[in-house]
Structure 1
Amino acid sequence: MVDFSLITGPVGRFLATAQNGIEVLRYGGLETGAVPSPYQIVESVPMYKLRRYFPPDSRPGAAAPGAPVLMVHPMMMSADMWDVTRADGAAGILHASGLDPWVIDFGSPDQVEGGMQRNLADHVVALSEAVDTVKRVTGHDVHLIGYSQGGMFCYQTAAYRRAKDLASIITFGSPVDTLAALPMGIPPNMGAVAANFMADHVFSRIDIPGWLARTGFQMLDPLKTAQARLDFLRQLHDREALLPREQQRRFLDSEGWIAWSGPAISELLKQFIAHNRMMSGGFSVRGDLVTLADIDCPILAVVGEVDDIGQPASVRGIKRAAPKADVYEYLIRTGHFGLVVGSKAAVQSWPTVAAWVKWRGGAGALPDGVVPMAVRSETAATDSGVPFASRVAAGTAAATEVAFGLARTAADAVVAAQKSARTLAVETARTLPRLARLGQVNDHTRISLGRIMSEQAMNNPDGEFLLFDGRVHTYEAVDRRVNNVVRGLIGVGIRQGVRVGLLMDTRPSALVAIAALSRLGAVAVLIPPDADLHEVVRLGGIADVLADPGNLEVARGLGIRVLVLGGGESRDLNLQGDADVTDMEKIDPDQVELPGWYRPNPGFARDLAFVAFASAGGELVPRQITNFRWALSAFGTASAANLGNRDTVYCLTPLHHQSGLLVSLGGAVVGGARIALSRGLTPDRFLHEIRQYGVTVVSYTWAMLGEVIDDPSFVLSGNHPVRLFIGSGMPTGLWRRVVEVFDPAHVVEFFATTDGQAVLANVSGVKYGSKGRPLPGGGRVQLAAYDADDDIILEDEHGFVRLAQVNEVGVLLAQPRGPVDPTAPVKRGVFAPADTWVSTESLFRRDEDGDYWLVDNRSAVIRTERGPVFTAAVNDAVSRVGAVDLSVTYSLESAGRILAVTAVTLRPGGSVPSAEVSEALAALPVGVGPDIVYVTPDLTLSASYRPLVGPLRAAGIPKASRNSWYFDADTSQYKRLTAAVRAELGDL
């Protein structure tokens, strides 16, 4: 008997395959009979449509809708992803759970007028408007739900509106720390460089059509894509087996993908991959600067254990980026798309989301599997995407997983070794061109602040440059403002070479004024507000002063013409009848005709560019700063701090201070970094602005940072973006505390002479208190042996200056390069016949490793009966005592003798036993300790946060107390200062 099934079976299978195949070819897939979930368009604008799924029944007695949930799709995927299947899709499941599902539909930008010009900010602002609408319609706070980049939009929008009207945020596979784990194992440095290049040179010119978005997504996991297609073909004869997954297959293969605008891709690559500003903060939304640290509503991050796109290490970055928020996580063993569509999403993701929303509303318990997200160290997050073992384990036995775990351990060791090499290569590639350019500078090189700013504006006009009051200004905008001020200055008669005083607070107008004078070729005389201003005017040769409205009244008293610049829109100067005051903002730059002599940025390296002021021996001393000196510090800072366009430099230092002008502003301009200006130094503003601006580098002077970290209200929690502190004069004890608080950031301490002939930098930041070594690209320095008792430089048997030995005090000499300050002490025939050196008049010692340590200024050495007291060395030693906050050492004349006195302030709750004082000063590497050490309630600080000795010296010998000590020569110990001992020392 013939078994016809042997014939009819294959034939039937063939016919079924053919029939189903024709249907797929003709219609793009099998007809499933699925009906989409009903929805209503509540709002329709060119940027988006706002859908409300399962709109509530308005009939009397109808059940009230539940808590509103607003779902956000990524840019390259259709909003229909939330309703791929009615029974198993997000909208249907959430509605069945009693919630009120809403969806924002950005549409397909290539089908909307102007859609391909959309950027990320457009999406964030649109989502914020949609939240307002949902809140207005429902009367309830909104739960934001986002998948992949849609979750990034949720975070960004929550930060933008500071979590207003948000009940919680739920995200699925949404990266935050993008450089912690890039797809396909791309190294962070390589990823950042590639992202910058693609943003600037590729997606600034092209867009991504829908088919390319689909292809790119599938190429991220080509084996899985090929396997899915093969499985589909092998089951093409079995319609019943295919139908349950057909809607999902059609969505992923064709229907679910939409175009992606070039500006949006470019902004995503630059802000959130190259610059990683979801973590650091400081990303721009239509000019407003935003940080995730402002999010304070609860967050649930759903993590795919084998997600190669939103990798766990990247997704978990939200814990550190949003320290104010209560962050939870829910771990699912699935890939990226499986988080929101498919069988696991239907039975795990969406029921958990529904339970979370109810828990947040006080109805029900915390869902199973949802746990508080643990704080993970940054080292654990770097280069640690989805482990290879986890990918394999998704379909293998546990024994195989162990084997791959061993392989992963070995691979991680290789990655760690390669990481430092990659970092070094990137830093070298960035630094060498700067040093090469600096090395080419000579007297006749045209270089200045104004010229470098022009170059940056030409090369990167849309690049972010100036941050202030929560707003960001581009290079082009700042450059345009500088040119307008130049025209205004020309209009009031300012010419090249004229000295103009600047009496302005650290504001954008001050930065613009400095740059405008540089572009004009005039000399900016930087007026310290706490100095004798009439003396500054005399010493600086100032005929005109540029002031902001806040300093107008003081400037009026100087007896010279006042030019008022800046002040914002609410300025009311009341200048009627005052002929000596000119409001620069009233000048129309378009009406100023440029004279024939004007050439922008005419300054040569040898030309005087700025005049700053310093105090030496209580006297005000003008310091001349040439364009070469500015360039040396600017290029040196950019190189030593490895500044680039991923950095934001926080300029806490006043711009009238050399550090603010040369280090903060100079380094940022040369490095192409952003510079953030602050209205003042307070702990709450400091913390808010470093996160809001995404500050990576903080500038300082002297004890400035103590105002922040030693304040009782200062609490640093969660993530911070700071990697570096740069400046000069930080006390050693404060340095240690700063590094401990802001770990893993470190300090780069500079020492530079005003003329720029000697520049030192502690680039490694390892030795607290050291000034480091000569900066590459700077001039050559030597340490001349010095006799402190007789105040002379020592010579050898041939009459040349002798080099100081290891840890021997010496005078720092610099071989001049470029113009020499006429007031500087020049020495010839120093180490060889007819050679020329400039004395810095600063005393240093050089340790066994070649690092330089400042011990004093030559004029500040206190010569006591016991020997020389080097004030900087004493302050450095005393500030190493844990309880000491600040210290200052000064001379005091009493009864015909010179005493060395050290005053210290203590940290809150601190105390210092005499034994600690003795131990600290016994370890002095050079010189002897002071005669008296005492605790003072506070120290008066200058505008640059340097302790002032005038008020202390005027108070005379400290009073006898348990917090005052004198040096007992018989025991070589410091003992309590009594009234009898004080009388012997001689009361002033």
Structure 2
Amino acid sequence: MVDLSPFTRPVGRLLATAQNGLEVLRYGGLETGAVPSPFQIIESVPMYRLRRYFPPDVRPGATPPGPPVLMVHPMMMSADMWDVTRAEGAVGILHAAGIDPWVIDFGSPDQVEGGMQRNLADHVVALSEAIDTVRKVTDRDVHLAGYSQGGMFAYQTAAYRHAKNLASIVAFGSPVDTLAGLPLNLPANFGAAAADFMADHVFSRIDIPGWLARTGFQMLDPIKTAQARIDFLLQLHDREALLPREQQRRFLSNEGWIAWSGPAIAELLKQFIAHNRMMSGGFAIRGDLVTLSDIDCPILAVVGEVDDIGQPASVRGIKRAAPQADVYEYLIRTGHFGLVVGSKAATQTWPTVASWVKWLEGEGDLSDDVVPMALRPAEPSESGVPLASRVAHGAAAATEVTFGIARSAAGALVSANKSARALVVETARTLPRLTRLGQINDHTRISLGRIMSEQASATPEGEFLLFDGRVHTYEAVDRRINNVVRGLIDVGVRQGARVGVLMETRPSALVAIAALSRLGAVAVLMPADADLAEAAALGGVTDVMADPSNLDAASRLPLRVLVLGGGENRDLEPHGNPNVVDMEQIDPDVVALPGWYRPNPGFARDLAYIAFATVGGKLVARQITNFRWALSAFGTASAANLGRGDTVYCLTPLHHQSGLLVSLGGAVVGGTRIALSRGLRPDRFVHELRQYGVTVVSYTWAMLRDVIDDPSFALHGNHPVRLFIGSGMPTGLWERVEEEFAPAHVVEFFATTDGQAVLANVSGAKVGSAGRPLPGGGRIELAAYDVDDDLILEDERGFVALAGPNEVGVLLAHPRGPIDPTASVKRGVFAPADTWVSTEYLFRRDDDGDFWAVDNRGSVIRTARGPVFSAAVNDAVGRIGAVDLAVTYKVEVGGRAVAVTALTLAPGGSVPTADLNEALAALPVGAQPDLVHVVPDMKLSASYRPLLGPLRAAGIPKASRNAWYRDDDTGVYKRFTAAVRAELLGEDSAS
């Protein structure tokens, strides 16, 4: 018999291929005969349908359902992903293991009315409502499981509801630290910039249909996609070989992809990639500010070893972002989709998830492969998936090798401090600001109101003001400012009027200050703890704007009181003061704008604000022009490199110059968010850093001491802060802050009241230094100085001589803008008829050109051994590890000056005499103090500056083991005994 198989086999194969191919073309795939798992729709609303798979038998005696697991799909993928194959799908495996599987189905948004307008917040709120439903139906806490972006939804929802009614979270390949591992190993700076651009200019205008979502996913690994299609074609003749994977293939190639709304994509790109707010906190859900640090339920992160979308470094960010949670991880060697669908998912992932749920329910042991996640897991030198793992896995080898080599080369070329792209981005931000600052002259129209208008026009939906856990956009704040302007016009306030602002730090205070600026009036910032009548007189106030909490105090002034804030339906009649006007009762829509009104009329030279300070126990008014405000605002934004991804935390009241000039000014110019606090609350500090996603903290003097020294202070896990910015921070506190909040650093400013001289320690490399002149801030010089005769020295031509390196000199500033009438003006200083302003501050400039504060010219303590410079002494002893604060002051004893340094110690600290001698032996300039002593505490001013008055009034300290005197014979410090004290005071030691 003739064997015809060599001839019939190819023909049969050809016929089988044709038949199977025709079925694929006609129906989109091979008919497998599989049926979906049974489910019941428990809830159906426009935003979602809630499925309960394998509905429980409700008959008496039936086995009750197990713990509920609610599964969440990513936006671009169908909810059917959890049941691609019944035998190997998530819902089937979990049900067989005794779990009660639930699925939230967001549907395809292009098939729902208004669906293509959905944003991320809509999904988070919907998921939160679904959790409530599952909890109500089952009467059990819910295990929340999400794949990829669905896991991000799970994290965000858990944070939004503070983990209420959640038994645990299981996330599969869900990025948290999105910039730590971008797809295709894109550099973080490039990825953030690209995401920001795409959010603003692309996805704000278009949506993604399902076919494009599928194509984009496949293009992330084009070689693997092409290989899968070739394998399918080569096996098209073998139906039995194809059927086991046919449902998965059809799902990935066509059926599993749904449309993605543009607003949701834009919000994802902006909040969680460009600004990385899953890590930093401070993302907004329907106006509420949310942080993952509020999650306190157990978390299981399923990590794909060769996942190049949810890269391990990014997925593991959850450990740092949620420090209150017990975080575990399960590492599986597969790619992104293989985490939840396919043979490995069926045999490894879902059995592990089932054991996790049962372990938490007290019904079994934890899988050996589930381990606690390390806080700082050892990652490869390149971020994301290691190159060796990619090659071993065989996915996109050539492409990944190329990217790996490119990244390695880039890493070798760019320093560890900043990448080349970071420098480009920083320069692109900074140069326009410095250019604009340099172009400001007396006749330039510049003001807070004008910059606010510019920001609201450029990014109306941009987040700006954060307060009490809520967020307000630029457009909303700007609209409120315009409404208040109309109210002010209605009650007769005109351009140039001086209006007191007596308000707590709250949004209405910011709006009041900005509205006065937009009107061209002068905001007189009145501290509530000052003599209000004296402040009103010094400021020339004609009206006072107050909030309800300050109404009683304001009503005692013989002035009209304009009440702003606190709601629209208040009854102020009980005060019985006819001069009280409720601004909230004025309808801005009916106010006709007069012909004289021009928004934001202020010139740089115009007086914009009057602030107050206490000098020598007296209240002193400080005049601030628009130029002075702009100098600080642009300088802060430039020195701190503020961008739209930043959030500035304003701890100081807005009536304080730091709050007005640095925090508010820098935030408005930088286009960043500003978080207003109700005052420094150490017990809330760390929580608010995370809740608001604070990247820049503003401070004054020793303010942060209250935080660091608070017994409840603890910084666990991740924090978003990159910078502390302010002035006057003691050196010891500076070092402690940088140690606690590493890698954040301190940018210390020095600025004269009139703003003519500004220094900034931008690098933060030299603790205690005031840094260098701020670019765009005007020219400064250090004049040679004879400290004994208190004279500025001249050269042989009669011009002022310059101080040499490390010589004490007087800081001079070449004036820009109006000169304060009280300033010390010098003419013919370095050239005929030139004009300079003496700041009256003494500095030294080191060999690198950095400035160091030495003292105020009028505060030098002139002792018999030579001049003692208080700032230099304070910096030197402040470097002793145990020292918290240090101040140096003069005490008169028998007609001679005695220099005394008082110290407070950090909790548990002590100062060995050897450390004191070592610190003061290294004093760079001036003589050492005569006495050093430890005090229990120091009184601080409202701006957290140590008050010298009480210490001076106490006179010479008492003898103790924590007091020392300088032995003039040996030049070293020794214990200050009663006998030495008596000798110093000229007393009989026996008495």
CA distance change for structure 1 residues 940 and 313 in 2, over 3 Å: closer, same or farther?
Answer: same
Q: Quick one: distance in 2 between partners of 1:572 and 1:307?
A: 62
Instruction: Determine the structure 2 residue equivalent to 1:612.
Output: 611
Instruction: Determine the structure 1 residue equivalent to 2:651.
Output: 652
Q: Quick one: distance in 1 between partners of 2:933 and 2:551?
A: 41
Instruction: Determine the structure 2 residue equivalent to 1:66.
Output: 66
Instruction: Determine the structure 2 residue equivalent to 1:486.
Output: 485
Whether contact under 8 Å (1:957, 1:987) holds in the other structure is no
Q: Quick one: distance in 2 between partners of 1:414 and 1:107?
A: 47
Instruction: Determine the structure 2 residue equivalent to 1:683.
Output: 682
Instruction: Determine the structure 1 residue equivalent to 2:525.
Output: 526
Instruction: Determine the structure 2 residue equivalent to 1:2.
Output: 2
Q: Quick one: distance in 2 between partners of 1:636 and 1:139?
A: 57
Q: Quick one: distance in 2 between partners of 1:654 and 1:404?
A: 53
Q: Quick one: distance in 2 between partners of 1:768 and 1:217?
A: 49
Instruction: Determine the structure 2 residue equivalent to 1:110.
Output: 110
Q: Which secondary structure does the structure 1 equivalent of 2:898 belong to?
A: strand
Whether contact under 8 Å (1:549, 1:571) holds in the other structure is no
What is the identity, as a one-letter code, of the residue corresponding to 2:372? P
Q: Quick one: distance in 2 between partners of 1:192 and 1:177?
A: 12
Q: Describe the superposition over 1:791-814 as per-residue Cα deviations: whole angstroms up to 9, x where unpaired.
A: 111111211111001111111101
Whether contact under 8 Å (2:567, 2:584) holds in the other structure is no
Q: Describe the superposition over 1:523-561 as per-residue Cα deviations: whole angstroms up to 9, x where unpaired.
A: 112223343333322222222222222222332333333
How far off its partner does 1:596 sit?
A: 1.4
How far off its partner does 1:362 sit?
A: 1.1
Whether contact under 8 Å (1:32, 1:246) holds in the other structure is yes
Q: Quick one: distance in 1 between partners of 2:861 and 2:624?
A: 30
Instruction: Determine the structure 2 residue equivalent to 1:150.
Output: 150
Instruction: Determine the structure 1 residue equivalent to 2:982.
Output: 983
What is the identity, as a one-letter code, of the residue corresponding to 2:271? Q
What is the identity, as a one-letter code, of the residue corresponding to 2:496? G
Q: Which secondary structure does the structure 2 equivalent of 1:363 belong to?
A: coil
How far off its partner does 1:409 sit?
A: 9.3
Mean Cα deviation higher: 661-670 or 498-507: 498-507
Whether contact under 8 Å (1:389, 1:405) holds in the other structure is no
Mean Cα deviation higher: 807-816 or 921-930: 921-930
CA distance change for structure 1 residues 832 and 382 in 2, over 3 Å: closer, same or farther?
Answer: farther
How far off its partner does 1:583 sit?
A: 2.4
Q: Quick one: distance in 2 between partners of 1:133 and 1:410?
A: 50
What is the identity, as a one-letter code, of the residue corresponding to 1:427? E
Q: Describe the superposition over 1:573-617 as per-residue Cα deviations: whole angstroms up to 9, x where unpaired.
A: 554421232222222222322221111100011111111223444
Whether contact under 8 Å (2:414, 2:420) holds in the other structure is no
Instruction: Determine the structure 2 residue equivalent to 1:301.
Output: 301
Q: Quick one: distance in 1 between partners of 2:403 and 2:829?
A: 65
How far off its partner does 1:408 sit?
A: 9.2
How far off its partner does 1:903 sit?
A: 1.5
- Summarize the alignment of residues 492-511 of structure 1 with structure 2, pairs less than 5 Å apart: 492-511=491-510
Q: Quick one: distance in 1 between partners of 2:218 and 2:402?
A: 25
Instruction: Determine the structure 1 residue equivalent to 2:197.
Output: 197
Matched, 1:892 2:883: no
**TM-score, structure 1 normalization:** 0.97
Whether contact under 8 Å (1:78, 1:257) holds in the other structure is yes
Q: How many residues align?
A: 986
Q: Describe the superposition over 1:483-503 as per-residue Cα deviations: whole angstroms up to 9, x where unpaired.
A: 111112222221111112222
Whether contact under 8 Å (2:842, 2:854) holds in the other structure is yes
Q: Which secondary structure does the structure 2 equivalent of 1:940 belong to?
A: coil
Gap regions ≥5 residues in structure 2? none
Q: Quick one: distance in 2 between partners of 1:863 and 1:417?
A: 47
Matched, 1:586 2:585: yes
What is the identity, as a one-letter code, of the residue corresponding to 1:361? E
Instruction: Determine the structure 2 residue equivalent to 1:850.
Output: 849
Q: Which secondary structure does the structure 2 equivalent of 1:943 belong to?
A: coil
Q: Quick one: distance in 1 between partners of 2:614 and 2:346?
A: 73
Whether contact under 8 Å (1:282, 1:289) holds in the other structure is yes
- Summarize the alignment of residues 939-950 of structure 1 with structure 2, pairs less than 5 Å apart: 939-950=938-949
What is the identity, as a one-letter code, of the residue corresponding to 2:280? S
CA distance change for structure 1 residues 387 and 884 in 2, over 3 Å: closer, same or farther?
Answer: same
Whether contact under 8 Å (2:888, 2:899) holds in the other structure is yes
- Summarize the alignment of residues 413-428 of structure 1 with structure 2, pairs less than 5 Å apart: 413-414=411-412, 417=415, 420-428=419-427
Q: Quick one: distance in 2 between partners of 1:961 and 1:570?
A: 62
Instruction: Determine the structure 1 residue equivalent to 2:34.
Output: 34
CA distance change for structure 1 residues 69 and 202 in 2, over 3 Å: closer, same or farther?
Answer: same
How far off its partner does 1:411 sit?
A: 4.7
Whether contact under 8 Å (1:389, 1:404) holds in the other structure is no
Instruction: Determine the structure 2 residue equivalent to 1:21.
Output: 21
Q: Quick one: distance in 1 between partners of 2:681 and 2:388?
A: 48
Instruction: Determine the structure 1 residue equivalent to 2:777.
Output: 778
What is the identity, as a one-letter code, of the residue corresponding to 2:110? D
Whether contact under 8 Å (2:387, 2:401) holds in the other structure is no
CA distance change for structure 1 residues 573 and 902 in 2, over 3 Å: closer, same or farther?
Answer: farther
Instruction: Determine the structure 1 residue equivalent to 2:474.
Output: 475
Instruction: Determine the structure 1 residue equivalent to 2:274.
Output: 274
Instruction: Determine the structure 2 residue equivalent to 1:601.
Output: 600
Whether contact under 8 Å (1:93, 1:346) holds in the other structure is yes
CA distance change for structure 1 residues 135 and 887 in 2, over 3 Å: closer, same or farther?
Answer: same
How far off its partner does 1:980 sit?
A: 3.1
Instruction: Determine the structure 1 residue equivalent to 2:730.
Output: 731
Q: Percent identity?
A: 80
Q: Quick one: distance in 2 between partners of 1:967 and 1:620?
A: 37
Q: Which secondary structure does the structure 2 equivalent of 1:425 belong to?
A: helix
Q: Quick one: distance in 2 between partners of 1:721 and 1:76?
A: 30
Q: Quick one: distance in 2 between partners of 1:837 and 1:759?
A: 14
Whether contact under 8 Å (2:382, 2:408) holds in the other structure is no
Whether contact under 8 Å (2:145, 2:154) holds in the other structure is yes
Mean Cα deviation higher: 931-940 or 762-771: 931-940
Q: Quick one: distance in 2 between partners of 1:928 and 1:271?
A: 54
CA distance change for structure 1 residues 909 and 576 in 2, over 3 Å: closer, same or farther?
Answer: closer
How far off its partner does 1:753 sit?
A: 1.3
Instruction: Determine the structure 2 residue equivalent to 1:466.
Output: 465
Whether contact under 8 Å (1:918, 1:974) holds in the other structure is yes
- Summarize the alignment of residues 345-494 of structure 1 with structure 2, pairs less than 5 Å apart: 345-376=345-376, 384-395=383-394, 410-411=408-409, 413-414=411-412, 417=415, 420-494=419-493
Q: Quick one: distance in 1 between partners of 2:986 and 2:470?
A: 57
**TM-score, structure 2 normalization:** 0.97
Q: Describe the superposition over 1:208-242 as per-residue Cα deviations: whole angstroms up to 9, x where unpaired.
A: 00000000000000001000000000000000000
What is the identity, as a one-letter code, of the residue corresponding to 1:338? G
CA distance change for structure 1 residues 768 and 204 in 2, over 3 Å: closer, same or farther?
Answer: same
Whether contact under 8 Å (2:387, 2:404) holds in the other structure is no
Q: Describe the superposition over 1:109-151 as per-residue Cα deviations: whole angstroms up to 9, x where unpaired.
A: 0000110000000000000000000011001110000000000
CA distance change for structure 1 residues 527 and 863 in 2, over 3 Å: closer, same or farther?
Answer: farther
Whether contact under 8 Å (2:653, 2:679) holds in the other structure is no
Q: Describe the superposition over 1:696-743 as per-residue Cα deviations: whole angstroms up to 9, x where unpaired.
A: 000000000111011111010000000000000000000000000000
Q: Describe the superposition over 1:629-683 as per-residue Cα deviations: whole angstroms up to 9, x where unpaired.
A: 1111111111110000000000012212211111111110000000001112122
Matched, 1:234 2:234: yes
What is the identity, as a one-letter code, of the residue corresponding to 2:724? F
Q: Quick one: distance in 1 between partners of 2:538 and 2:407?
A: 66
What is the identity, as a one-letter code, of the residue corresponding to 1:72? V
Whether contact under 8 Å (1:519, 1:601) holds in the other structure is yes
Mean Cα deviation higher: 412-421 or 468-477: 412-421
Mean Cα deviation higher: 840-849 or 622-631: 622-631
- Summarize the alignment of residues 161-200 of structure 1 with structure 2, pairs less than 5 Å apart: 161-200=161-200
Q: Quick one: distance in 1 between partners of 2:821 and 2:636?
A: 25
Q: Which secondary structure does the structure 2 equivalent of 1:908 belong to?
A: coil
Q: Which secondary structure does the structure 1 equivalent of 2:747 belong to?
A: strand
Q: Quick one: distance in 2 between partners of 1:617 and 1:680?
A: 25
Q: Quick one: distance in 1 between partners of 2:413 and 2:130?
A: 44
- Summarize the alignment of residues 282-301 of structure 1 with structure 2, pairs less than 5 Å apart: 282-301=282-301
Gap regions ≥5 residues in structure 1? none
CA distance change for structure 1 residues 275 and 403 in 2, over 3 Å: closer, same or farther?
Answer: closer
CA distance change for structure 1 residues 569 and 160 in 2, over 3 Å: closer, same or farther?
Answer: farther
Q: Which secondary structure does the structure 2 equivalent of 1:136 belong to?
A: helix
